[in-house]
Amino acid sequence: MNALQIAATGMSAQQMKVDVVSNNLANMSTTGYNARRADFADLMYEQVQRPGAISSQTGTMLPTGVQLGMGVRPTSVSVILKQGSLSETRGDLDFAVDGTGYLEVELPSGGTAYTRDGALKRSVDGLVVTSDGYQVNPGITIPSDANRIAVNGNGEVYAYFDGQIEPTLLGQFTLTTFTNEKGLEATGSNLFLETSASGPPITGTPGVDGFGNLRQGYLEESTVDAVAEITELIKAQRGYELNAKVITAADEMMATTTQVK
């Protein structure tokens, strides 16, 4: 009887689905977070009688055969790429990417990461950094005597000073995209790393050649739909319970078999 093992794979799959849903719900308020989805596929099949097998001396052919499935397996936990709503904050260093693209971040190790979390800060030296203190490339330093800064949709950063009518251009942010964004490796802290599955980074100017625009004073909200996630949670819970009932039923059947005299 394979029912025990089959139901066990079903319970494991539903448990993984609950883990994904719980992570989505936990990140309902995470800036720039995209919801994840667990995908599954059926396992191998035991070919008791193959379709098309000859079933008689006259050459009669089985139209369907007997194929017994062995359960389910996870295939991926993929990111649902979707533009989040823009929430107004009016912060000078709050930026939302309205469209395609990631901000490039320099890690302490010298490597490069990518993020859509535009809640940026100013370091003690005036350098524009992430909330964790990582430099946003290209490095832009805001002078300490600047009254305010302004960033247009193309990522150009201007600073205003006392006694100066025209603003001073400090630099320009760039955006990066990938051929397969779902292939990026999530490392936490809203950061992603390039992988062989994502393809090499493609860097460009915001608002040009399909790249999104930068919106100063806004942050991108999480794309998690609480109602949809609760629905998926209930479905996963019911699936887990049903697979548990199969294990109970199979155990009772096996117990009955051992008691036969």
Q: What percent of the chain is predicted at pLDDT more than 70? A: 98
Count how many domains the chain has: 2
Residue 57: the pLDDT is: 64
Residue 116 has pLDDT above 90, yes or no: yes
Structure tokens at 81: 């790429």
Enter the DSSP assignment of 166: S
User: Any residues with CB less than 8 A from the CB of 135 and at least 6 apart, and which?
Assistant: 105, 106, 127, 128, 129
Banded pLDDT at 174 (limits 50, 70, 90): very high
Whether 106 and 209 share a structural domain: yes
Whether 29 and 17 map to the same domain: the answer is yes
Distance (Å, rounded) from C-alpha 228 to C-alpha 112?
A: 34
Residue 146 backbone class (left: φ over 0; alpha: ψ -120 to 50; beta: rest): beta
Do 48 and 91 reside in the same domain of the chain? Answer: no
Judgement on whether residues 108 and 215 belong to the same structural domain of the protein: yes
Name the pairing type of β-strands 103-106 and 175-177.
Answer: unpaired
Q: Does residue 97 share a domain with residue 67? A: no
Between residues 27 and 256, which one has the greater pLDDT?
Answer: 27
Using CB atoms within 10 A of its CB, is residue 218 exposed (0-12), middle (13-18) or buried (19+)? buried
Per-residue pLDDT reduced to its tens digit, 1-57: 788 899 999 999 999 999 999 999 999 999 999 999 999 999 888 887 777 777 766
Residues 107 and 210 in one domain: yes
Residues 214 and 229 in one domain: no
Q: What is the CA radius of gyration of the chain?
A: 27
Model confidence pLDDT, tens digit, residues 123-138? 999 999 999 999 999 9
Residues 174 and 246 in one domain: no
Domain range spanning residue 16? Answer: 3-81+224-259
Peptide bond into 167 cis (omega under 30): no
Query: Is the same domain home to 9 and 127?
Result: no
Same domain for 106 and 76: no
The closest alpha carbon to 222, from 24, 79, 22, belongs to: 24
Alpha carbons 184 and 182: distance in angstroms, whole number: 6
Phi and psi dihedrals of 191, rounded to 5? -110, 150
Same domain, 105 and 157: yes
251-260: long-range contacts (C-beta < 8 A, 24 or more apart)? 251/4, 253/1, 254/1
Secondary structure letter of residue 119 according to DSSP: B
Separation CA 225–CA 206 (nearest Å): 28
Q: What pLDDT is attached to residue 257? A: 79
Rounded to 10 deg, the angle between the 226-259 and 3-26 helix axes is 160
Do 87 and 219 meet the contact criterion of CB atoms below 8 Å apart?
yes
Assess whether 195 and 254 both reside in one domain. no
